[in-house]
Amino acid sequence: MDLAKEIDLLRKIPMFAKLNASKLKLLAFTSEIVKYEPGDVVFYAGGPADYAYVIVEGAVDVVTETDKGTLVTLTLHENQLFGELAVLSNASRSATLKANGKVTVMKISAEMFIKLLAENSDFALDVMRQLSEKLAKSHHQVEALLQYERQAPTK
């Protein structure tokens, strides 16, 4: 994809829409568009926090390995950010993410992501909102799992 097309693509993603043209150009130049096939792993739990990602098309599943197999704990969709928590905390990945069908993502280096946050308050606020939504969903999922475990018959 050429630079002009990437800039047009970025303008359509709500979290980048308010960035000025020079920042969009820099982001397009320093990021990478990557396509995944259904079931492809985007990254593994325990992996390095080297990129944040934005879903351009498609969806990704957050998966957890359990004693009973793989469990999809969350599905993220177009224009959603992921991988940012590990970048922000400079920690390894907390989950494995897999393509849910064909998916196209934009990989943003950790350095560029931090720079965007530091220099753009609207972008930083949008990232905080997305993180808050994810934390709220995670909290509800944990509550549901605990409720299920309390009600499940013991062997």
Provide the token pair at 2. 């050429």
pLDDT digits (tens, 9 = 90+) for 119-154: 988 888 888 888 888 788 777 777 776 776 677 666
User: How confident is the model over 19-38, as pLDDT tens digits?
Assistant: 888 888 898 889 999 999 99
Please state, rounded to an integer, the average pLDDT across all residues of the chain.
87
The whole-number pLDDT of residue 154 equals: 61
Torsion, Cα 61 134 43 46, to 10 degrees, reads -130
Sheet of strand 59-66: strand arrangement: 41-43, 96-99, 59-66, 69-77
Domains and CATH numbers, the chain: 32-151 (2.60.120.10)
Q: How far is CA 125 from CA 13, 120, 131, in A?
A: 15, 9, 10
For the sheet with 103-109, list strands across it: 32-36, 103-109, 51-57, 81-82
Residues sharing a CB contact under 8 Å with residue 22, sequence separation 6 or more, in sequence order: none
Look at strands 41-43 and 103-109 and give their pairing: unpaired
Residue, of 15 and 76, whose pLDDT is higher? 76
User: What's the CA gap between 115 and 82, in Å, rounded?
Assistant: 17
DSSP structural state of residue 37:
-
State whether residue 42 is helix, strand or coil: strand
User: From residue 35, how far is each of 40, 55, 66, 99, 122 by CA, in Å?
Assistant: 10, 10, 28, 9, 28
